[in-house]
Structure 1
């Protein structure tokens, strides 16, 4: 068993309005069976109401769409975990409650990458977490310090990110040259694994997932953060349909001090990412900015729609040369998809990053649903 200390200043609370209503009614008294039954009935009725609305409701005002969209997503979080954990710590968006010091046990491997191994963990409170671990090289002090500094940068970024479409950060520990980063556990798996299990996504589901990816990316960009490695493996799915962006090992914060003065031409000249999802400017090392994430969004949408990223029929080096040369057109979505979907991917995969739309602009594209059911 290991332990880590969680700072309450690094926690955040997301509570469903329906759930909060029942907590208010309960007050300091017990959560009786009657209250829980009423809550369950209310949730079921909300699901039935949402299903009856349909994908589009032109009579619904924009303000109502925007306010209900966030409420519907918050509703998708694990409220029964919140009920079970009420009154003992800080409630996180996944229903996880942390005391100041948490004991945990390492479980199976959830994934491996260039920046560490992610394990499933079980806390002493009986809750599942994701733990990213990196073993520092104890034989090379300089290399260990460099790696530790990089991990500190990742942690500092994660601490500041509070959004429903960004994985929740819980805490860190350093024990015997092993750095652990504790995060919200997302049981649905990655979008890449979902595609592997179920095949390419139907257009309606594709659009709903794309909307949430864009909202997460827009949040990052307004906070001067660029992800630099968006792809199906780094987009996770909650069982409720909520999308979470993960793996900020490559992410960087733009260097300008005030994000209001930043724009898409703020660039970082370093190569990061995965070949099939890389923008031309990354390959050519002409600078990476917010718009490079937009290219990766287009590749991820293509991946969700077809099961593979663009140019997957080529080997990695051939794909890099093709994208970097900017001489050939990127493939379009199959004819079975709507013109809106095809155009969305096309404008994301515009070679000149200055001509690519921003995440906020893409959220207004006709491919993106105007309300979420």
Structure 2
């Protein structure tokens, strides 16, 4: 679906708002008759996510559209579905359509688990981490850095984790010294000097993994013995700990990349077939240190 004339845009209707930011806002979108994604059987109807911005200030959407199209071959990144322009309440908008993540975000899952006094199981944390690593490997192979890997930007489609929101994604070395991203997930070299290589995304992924397994987000300024106590309470496995520490190496040159991490025992050593679903999905009780994302 390419960019169409405003007067032809009666092919979809805007649903409830999902979120907003400096770029504009995101809503649900429902295809109508005549739209290529419309299905006559309403019980099978497709729902899309649409990111919209006022036309005059929509350059960031054009850039994000370019990146979604560029990364469209990767199944671990939210899929781009098209774009158009519309007039709504006498205002012109540019819209880009994306695959809707009905499963919500990783942030939502962590928060929901905390509200029940539980945490995400290590098995699920590993599966999420593996999916994100595949997505990052693809992005990095194209010469880009996502720059904002965090729990809000890891989305679930049919139970599988996908990378979303390419608004901060840059070509490696394009904006030296510029601070991009979310501080709690930023690599030391990024918030200290605005240095962004592919290794910056790996740090962010490590932060997400720690948050999934321990339920703790703000740990960066804790002493090592405090961090060790959190890990002990969470019963994080040795493999998970070793993997996490490979992500959190201060020197980006020594930090592992996505290819190396995909070969780590935490990722490749799956539980034996005899392990029951109940054992695999068991979630340990959360400690009093659990923080909302």
**TM-score (norm. length: structure 1):** 0.60
> Structure 1's 151 and 343: CA in aligned 2 closer, same or farther, altered over 3 A?
same
User: Does the CA contact (< 8 Å) of 1:190 and 1:237 recur in 2?
Assistant: yes
Report whether the alignment pairs 1:160 with 2:79.
no
Q: Pick from 207, 210, 234: which aligns with 2:129?
A: 210
Q: Which residue of 1 aligns with 2:110?
A: 195
Report whether the alignment pairs 1:134 with 2:53.
yes
> Structure 1's 344 and 371: CA in aligned 2 closer, same or farther, altered over 3 A?
closer
Give RMSD over aligned pairs.
2.6
Gaps of 5+ in 1: 8-99, 137-143, 256-265, 312-318
Higher-helix-fraction structure: 1
User: Does the CA contact (< 8 Å) of 1:104 and 1:121 recur in 2?
Assistant: yes
| Deviation for aligned residue 1:118 | 1.1
- Note the alpha carbon deviations across 1:169-193, whole angstroms, 9 max, x for none: 0111233432211001110000110
User: Does the CA contact (< 8 Å) of 1:302 and 1:310 recur in 2?
Assistant: no
After superposition, where does 1:121-270 map in structure 2 within 5 Å? 121-124=29-32, 125=38, 126-136=45-55, 144=56, 147-161=57-71, 162-175=73-86, 176-199=91-114, 200-239=119-158, 241-254=159-172, 268-270=176-178
Gaps of 5+ in 2: 33-37, 39-44, 274-293
- Note the alpha carbon deviations across 1:236-294, whole angstroms, 9 max, x for none: 1123x211100000001236xxxxxxxxxx98432111111011111112511111011
| Deviation for aligned residue 1:298 | 0.3
- Note the alpha carbon deviations across 1:59-86, whole angstroms, 9 max, x for none: xxxxxxxxxxxxxxxxxxxxxxxxxxxx
Q: Which residue of 1 aligns with 2:246?
A: 347
Moved over 4 A (4+): 370-373
User: Does the CA contact (< 8 Å) of 1:230 and 1:296 recur in 2?
Assistant: yes
| Deviation for aligned residue 1:371 | 5.8
Larger radius of gyration: 1
User: Does the CA contact (< 8 Å) of 1:235 and 1:243 recur in 2?
Assistant: yes
| Deviation for aligned residue 1:102 | 7.7
**TM-score (norm. length: structure 2):** 0.76
